[in-house]
């Protein structure tokens, strides 16, 4: 999970060095990181790399003007949710209307009053904070507190894009609790919920960079960035052993186990997409189940599975 109270970032895009110095002075003491860009091209680049909570955007930029830059920001899924406040010396009402219609949330006229500037920036940050809280709650699993399938689908697209862009490995681990239906039938659904919660705690308690998600039912997914299949296998094996070692209150002799399937971007024999990674990790998980459960299998050792075997992967 992300840091609970990170310092918010504000990016000022204005071709005037004086404006940047004024902003630095007048926002001094505010709890934020202030970054600057003096061209629309640099501003667009920093918007993507920094992903600030708020952008202060001048309308009258050389080359690409503020309206054109805002349009590009709203077209990109990585930047479309950033709050944009226009700052401009123009007092034209139609400029304000146009900016707000395009998705800007506020407008500050130059020369700006220090108190008004701080108040509007704080308001924008509060709004962004509430929006992110709502978005996060919609992406969390209610029982386990892990990221849910919706978040997993979005994050896989992002992580694969980053892995391709920076030529770094990415691993995907699927984990399935062994004989979970039998546990539910024998001990009841409240105990089944406890098993899901305990397994989720272990999966989310690994490396800080690992992204644990509840994929559905008793199945979980782990996204391991900058991790090849050998490293990922070690991670999965540690998690498997931890799950096997859980002591269950009221059932000290009970041993709950889980099976793991893993693939990475370096061992795929087809296009790297979320679908192909899921298919390969699922094939490896199926092999772990067929080989006796409570084990870790990698896609490179199950790449020669027959189509018939792959079609049975949902029968766990």
**pLDDT tens, position by position, 157-206:** 999 999 999 999 999 999 999 999 999 999 999 999 999 999 999 999 98
First to last CA, the chain: 29
78 given a catalytic annotation: no
- Which residues are paired to 57 by β-bridges? 13, 86
Q: What is the largest CA-CA distance in the chain?
A: 76
**Neighbouring residues of 132: CB distance < 8 A, sequence distance ≥ 6:** none
Dist CA 215 CA 224 (whole Å): 15
pLDDT digits (tens, 9 = 90+) for 253-299: 999 999 999 999 998 877 899 999 999 999 999 999 999 999 999 98
| pLDDT over 60 at 307, yes or no | no
State the DSSP code for 7. Answer: P
> Residue 253 in contact with residue 272, Cβ under 8 Å?
no
> C-alpha angle with apex 283: 234 to 233, nearest 5 degrees?
5
DSSP states of 239-303: HHHHHHTPPBTTBTT----EEEEEEEGGG-SS---HHHHHHHHHHHHHHHHHTTSSSEEETTTST
Looking at the predicted structure, is the pLDDT value of residue 2 above 70?
A: no
Buried b (16+ CB within 10 A) or exposed e, 44-75: bebbeebebbbbbbbbebeebebbebbeebbe
As to burial, measured by CB atoms within 10 angstroms (0-12 exposed, 13-18 middle, 19+ buried), residue 308 is exposed
Q: Write the CA distances from 217 to 20, 142, 177, 213, 259, integer angstroms.
A: 52, 12, 9, 11, 14
C-alpha closest to that of 177 among 83, 126, 129, 243: 243
Query: What average pLDDT does the structure give for the chain?
Result: 90
The first and second tokens of residue 118, run together, are: 């701080």
Output the CA angle 94-95-97, nearest 5 degrees: 60
Domains belonging to the chain, first-starting first, are 9-137 (3.40.50.2300), 149-311 (3.30.70.270)
Rounded CA gap, 11 and 46, in Å? 8
* Euclidean distance between CA atoms 291 and 61, whole angstroms: 63
Query: Residue 240 pLDDT > 80, yes or no?
Result: yes
310 has a pLDDT exceeding 80: no
pTM over 0.85: no
What pLDDT is recorded for position 89?
83
Strand partners, 219: 176, 216
Token pair in block for residue 45:
């680049």
Q: What is the pLDDT of residue 136?
A: 80
Q: Of the listed 159, 218, 219, 297, which one is catalytic?
A: 218
62-110: per-residue pLDDT in tens? 889 999 999 999 999 889 999 999 998 877 888 889 999 999 999 998 8
Residues in the chain: 316
Let me know: does 35 contact 14? Beta carbons within 8 Å: no
CA pair distance 65, 69, nearest whole angstrom:
6
User: Coil, helix or strand for 32?
Assistant: coil
Whether the CB-CB separation of 301 and 287 falls below 8 Å is answered with: yes
E strands present in the chain: 9-13, 33-37, 54-58, 83-88, 106-109, 170-177, 211-216, 219-225, 258-264, 296-298
């Amino acid at each position: 999970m992300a840091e609970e109270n990170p310092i918010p970032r504000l990016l000022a895009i204005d071709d005037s060095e004086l404006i940047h110095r004024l902003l630095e002075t007048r926002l001094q003491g505010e709890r934020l990181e202030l970054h600057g860009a003096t061209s629309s091209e640099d501003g667009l680049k920093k918007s993507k790399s920094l992903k600030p909570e708020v952008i202060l955007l001048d309308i009258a930029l050389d080359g690409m003007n503020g309206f054109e830059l805002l349009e590009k920001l709203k077209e990109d899924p990585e930047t479309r949710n950033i709050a944009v406040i226009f700052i401009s010396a123009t007092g034209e009402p139609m400029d304000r209307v146009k900016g707000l219609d395009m998705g800007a949330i506020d407008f500050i006229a130059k020369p700006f009053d220090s108190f008004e500037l701080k108040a509007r920036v704080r308001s924008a940050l509060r709004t962004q904070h509430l929006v992110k809280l709502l978005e996060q709650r919609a992406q969390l699993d209610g029982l386990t507190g892990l990221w849910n399938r919706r978040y997993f689908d979005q994050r896989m697209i992002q992580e694969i894009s980053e892995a391709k862009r920076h030529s770094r490995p990415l691993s995907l681990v699927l984990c399935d609790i062994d004989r979970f239906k039998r546990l539910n039938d024998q001990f009841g659904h409240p105990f089944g919920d406890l098993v899901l919660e305990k397994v989720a705690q272990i999966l989310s308690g690994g490396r800080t960079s690992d992204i644990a998600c509840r994929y559905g039912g008793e199945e979980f997914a782990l996204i391991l960035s900058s991790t090849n299949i050998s490293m990922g296998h070690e991670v999965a094996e540690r998690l498997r052993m931890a799950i096997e070692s859980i002591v269950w209150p009221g059932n000290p002799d009970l041993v709950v186990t889980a099976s793991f399937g893993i693939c990475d971007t370096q061992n795929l024999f087809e296009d790297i997409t979320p679908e192909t990674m899921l298919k390969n990790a699922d094939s490896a998980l199926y092999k772990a189940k067929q080989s006796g459960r409570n084990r870790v299998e990698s896609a490179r050792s199950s790449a020669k599975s027959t189509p018939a075997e792959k079609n049975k992967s949902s029968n766990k």
